[in-house]
Chains A and B, each alone.
Chain A
Amino acid sequence: MAENENINSEYAIRVKNVTKQFKVYYDKGSSLKERMIFRGRNRYENRTVLDGISLDIRKGDAVGLVGHNGCGKSTLLKLMTRILYPDSGEIEVQGRVSSLIELGAGFHPDMSGRENIYTNASIFGLSKKEIDSRLDDIIAFSELGEFIDNPVRTYSSGMYMRLAFSVAINVDADVLLIDEILAVGDANFQSKCFAKLQEIKANGTTIVIVSHSLKQIEQICNRSIWIHGGKIRSDGVPNDVHMDYLDYMSEVRKTNALLSSMTEEQKAAYDKEKKLRWGNGDATIETVKVTDKQGKEGNLFEVGAEIHFRVGYKVNKPIDDAVFGIGIFRPDGLNVYGTNTRIDGFKRFDLKEDGYFDIVLPKYSLLPSKYIVGFSIEYGEGIPVDYWKTACEIETFTNISDIGTIRLDHDWGFSDGEIKK
């Protein structure tokens, strides 16, 4: 902690070129057995959440962080509280930090509200003496009155949150970090929380808020930072930043509406963004041709028909020991079938130049529905090269009214041996 150093510095928080990546495991095994047996399964992808971000926050500033889900704003806040540590770069925070990320941390349902104040406040690093001196304020703020000596399990959720918020807000921190929790209690209590935040701000506490409510940020903050894709996209007076942000968001909404009319290329890019397609890009699936037995292209097939797929790929970097795969999904997400060349016992493929692979399904017996067909190229050890979950769509029809997922071959038999059909 840099608490006593540079105490006169004008900055409360300094973030210097911070990068944070998360390992996203496809199928993680953390016990010895799983690690030994499924060594190949321990594959993961590094997702960069924050990408070399730098920012300074002055003492006494109130700063809002905005951005769409998954843009990295909450990660940044967690780095500031030191729940997470950056992969590279530095974060300096001066003074006592109180974070309102999780309210009621460590509450014990069987203990009284009063005892829980001690437990909860101790987690913020307050000593017994400090808690004693704040106790009356906390109880008064929570409006719990005589209920304070009842076990917390008897509280309504509103009372619970009120107590938790009262503790967190009364810590007297130098830096207050808040994540999306201003929706506490009834309207009356909310406005009280708001007033308290204003008061805290007036006392010179530095505040950082993550919120989707731009209005809240505009009311409290004097600066707003829009984080997009792990980088700062815009930084300034809340009103200006929010204008840009709202403009962008309405653009996105328009794009979503336009999705159906996209070209193949745009769609591929969009899928990647949406995590329906991933991989290291050493090779990419370029074309998918769907044909029937006669070689006629189309997407509509009768149940039981023969379907041919020809998947063209481009090699960007020679690949040793490639594995091709196919996966068929129903729109509700059911994985109907999947296999790959390794499962089917093929020897290794070494990809040196562009080419294609064929898959023939001689009898496609899946009952009428839309099906999404995905293809994959991966390294033998399981590292995805190009996983495209939504490479193409086919649809089946039939005039037989059997039900279920798949048509199974079947025969009937009868005790009198007569064929009645």
Chain B
Amino acid sequence: MLNEFKEIYKYREMIYSMVRKDLRGRYKGSVLGFLWTFINPLLQLLVYNMVFSIILRNDIEKFYLFLFVALIPWMFFSASITGGSVSIISQKDLIKKIYFPREIIPISYVTSCFVNMLLSFIVVIIVVFASGVRPTVAGMILLPTIMIIEYLLALGIAMITSAVTVYFRDLEHILGIISMAWMYATPICYPESLCPEKYRFLFHLNPMTSIVEAYRAVLYYGTVPDMSTLLESVVLGLVFLTAGCIVFGNLKKRFAEEL
């Protein structure tokens, strides 16, 4: 395991160049180009806000913000696991022809989604301040920690989905549905309090619940996230990452043959 980490570190330049290639290629040929990174989340916000403030009315204060600070992290997570699932397959020419630590591919993919989220957060922070919420200093210091925890979780799951999809291509399509269901099982469009008390414990088995709650604590309520919730997500994040490394490590040996 340690040797693998060392080797991945040695190949860090490859991660960097793959992320750069991915980000540059993402909006290639479009008129607005890289601006889409900012426009996309804003438009999504607009749609959800219209649905939930005009049609499905509710009495949550500043609902647009309530939704926005949870939706952007969710979009990163969901893109990582669904898009990540085909990341190995889409690089099959590279895998069949050349050696490099296979972990580089899911790492690069998730990292590029992560960088995208960081850029979207420029918009998020602007919206947060424009809405009048004043996050605490402690909260803002904790924000990068929350992001890193989410990154580790997303990476762990993406390593599993990317490796399993090589052997079982249906997973790509199944994940579309799983990701949708997962979104509604996470308090993104609604507060956690809406969930009946007796199912609450199930909610907290979902690693994304505590992460979303943490984002919301900092950026919506302007408080510091509950430390026990945060700790819970750290543990879950590490569990998934370890599982991801083990599954990936076992499956990667036959990639070149299966592709």
Contact = CB atoms under 8 A, between A and B. Distances in A.
Contacts of B25: 108, 110
Given A118-B13, A119-B21, A125 B100 contact: yes
A30 B169 contact: yes
Given A83-B99, A102-B98, A122 B17 contact: yes
B11 A125 contact: yes
B210 to A, nearest CB: 33
Nearest to A127: B13
A84 interface: yes
B238 interface: no
B14 interface: yes
A193 interface: no
B99 A81 contact: yes
A153 interface: no
Interface string B1-29: 00100110011111011100100010010
B97 A85 contact: no
A71 interface: no
Contacts of B169: 30-31
Interface string A16-49: 0000001100000011110000000000000000
A32 B168 contact: yes
B253 A85 contact: yes
Interface residues of A, number: 33
B257 interface: yes
Nearest to A29: B169
Given A1-B3, A122-B14, A105 B98 contact: yes
A338 interface: no
A78 interface: yes
A78 B256 CA distance: 10
Contact of B98 (A1, A83, A126, A131): A83
A62 B95 CA distance: 26
Contact of A85 (B6, B167, B254): B254
Contact of B17 (A32, A81, A97, A119): A119
Nearest to A97: B99
Nearest to B12: A127
A108 B97 contact: no
Interface string A205-244: 0000000000000000000000000000000000000000
A317 interface: no
Nearest to A131: B13
A99 interface: yes
B205 interface: no
Contacts of B11: 122, 125
A78 B96 CA distance: 9
Nearest to A33: B170
A84 B21 contact: no
Contact of A83 (B12, B14, B97, B170): B97
Contacts of B98: 81, 83, 99, 101-102, 105, 123
Contacts of A119: 17-18, 21
A344 B13 CA distance: 61
Given A30-B169, A97-B99, A105-B98, A83 B17 contact: no
Q: Which 3 A-B pairs have the closest CB atoms?
A: A102-B97, A122-B13, A122-B14
30 contacts: A23-B257, A30-B167, A31-B169, A31-B170, A33-B170, A81-B98, A83-B97, A84-B256, A85-B253, A99-B98, A101-B98, A102-B93, A102-B97, A105-B98, A106-B21, A108-B25, A110-B28, A118-B13, A118-B17, A119-B17, A122-B13, A122-B17, A123-B14, A123-B94, A123-B98, A124-B100, A125-B10, A125-B13, A126-B13, A128-B16
